[in-house]
Amino acid sequence: MQLTPFCLMLSCLRVSPDRSQFFWYESITLSSPPAFIENTYPTDSGVYWCESKDREMSNGVNITITGQPVILESPALPVLEGAAVILRCKAETSSFDQSISGGGESLSSWLAVEGRTVILESPTLPVLEGDAVILRCKAEVNSINHRFNFFKNDLCISSNSTGQMTIHSASKSDEGFYKCSISGGGESLSSWLAVENSSSVSVIRLICHLVVGTPYLLSTILLGIICRDRKRAARLVAERRGSNDVIMEIAV
């Protein structure tokens, strides 16, 4: 699960399994600090949070222990915009002979979605091999204490305080999904960086120029031929009129 900006901080309470509804007698693990609830009862329902020695409070997590025959498995913590969310309808019995339809209804669960506070500025069009590429990580709220981390295919490849990473000479091996994160500030969506061979791009550009320019070239040639034929026709008409005038003078 992608962590929300709050859970990138030190004090974040997480639930395992990651859901807010539980059947009777199930076990729940709360992390930061670790705590274990075994054989849960409805009296264990409520909002849980933890507090550090510095009196810093974590996020609150709402847990419901229900006697309903059906529960909805949904994330207990807020999810980020763009993240995939899976909802599961789970019956108390795992018998394959029982159909959930007609077997009860779950309680409602609130699904919270938080907006992205970090974006990655990267080229939208493919870059050429050998070109320099600059990636910038930008936060909605700037701070001099930010630490910027850059990832390629989910692997951290750079970390700095400038918020900028440069690929000095791009190659095909630099292709991939890039994203960035800020310590205590969230994570961006992934963006695809495409790198094209310069020779293939030159051929493609030449073909594009030919495709675009050929109609204009043909139109220019056709107009030239039409103008030439009109001038030739006008000259022939003029020559015929001159010859007719000479004949009339001789006849007179």
Q: What is the pLDDT along the chain (252 residues), one digit of tens a residue?
A: 444 444 544 457 888 888 999 999 999 998 877 788 888 989 999 998 888 777 777 778 899 999 888 999 988 888 877 778 899 998 876 544 444 555 678 888 888 887 778 899 999 899 999 999 999 998 877 767 788 999 999 999 999 999 999 999 999 999 999 999 987 668 888 999 999 987 655 666 677 777 777 887 888 888 888 888 787 877 777 777 766 555 555 555
Q: Which two tokens stand for residue 239?
A: 């020559």
Closest by CA position to 185, among listed 136, 155, 130, 147 = 147
CATH architecture of 118-196: Sandwich (2.60)
Is the domain 5-114 a CATH 3.30.70.1450 member? no
Instruction: State pLDDT tens for residues 20-50.
Output: 999 999 999 988 777 888 889 899 999 988 8
Q: What is the pTM of this model?
A: 0.48
CA distance 135 to 133: 7
Residue spans in the chain of domains classed CATH 2.60.40.10: 5-114, 118-196
